[in-house]
Amino acid sequence: GNSVTQMEGPVTLSEEAFLTINCTYTATGYPSLFWYVQYPGEGLQLLLKATKADDKGSNKGFEATYRKETTSFHLEKGSVQVSDSAVYFCALSGGQGAQKLVFGQGTRLTINP
């Protein structure tokens, strides 16, 4: 079945550091890929998405490229801010049948000033 594996956290960085959170997936067919973010005390919000191979999703300075050859969708940001502190979830949907999302376990990111 479909599955998502994320880089284990927690991750702690200083402000303005470069961020990478790794995400790899296993899926049949051609899934769509998502990054969701959960700020403290809130629900999940879609951060970015990509629906086909080589697509790049981007939002708020974050980027992720759908790499079919390596089955990856790593999240990157060139210069993080304290306000980026949150939990980040990689997810996929696709294959036959229901449009269900399968989530990774989440990566907690803390940015120190």
Partner 1 sequence: DADVTQTPRNRITKTGKRIMLECSQTKGHDRMYWYRQDPGLGLQLIYYSFDVKDINKGEISDGYSVSRQAQAKFSLSLESAIPNQTALYFCATSAQTGGRKNNEQFFGPGTRLTVL
**Which residue in 2, 22, 24, 51 binds partner 1 (CB under 8 A)?**
51
Using CB under 8 A as the binding rule, the residues of this chain from 53 to 82 that contact partner 1 are none
Under the binding rule (CB under 8 A), the answer on residue 2 touching partner 1 is no
**Which residue in 2, 22, 24, 32 binds partner 1 (CB under 8 A)?**
32
Q: How far is CA 45 from CA 53, 84, 113, in A?
A: 23, 13, 24
Q: Report the C-alpha dihedral over residues 93, 68, 4, 30, rounded to 10 degrees.
A: 20
d(C-alpha 73, C-alpha 39), whole Å: 21
Comparison of 20 and 45: residue with beta carbon closer to partner 1: 45
Tell me how far the alpha carbon of residue 58 is from its chain's centroid: 11
Binding site residues, partner 1, CB under 8 A: 4, 32, 34, 36, 41-46, 49, 51-52, 89, 93-95, 98-101, 103-106
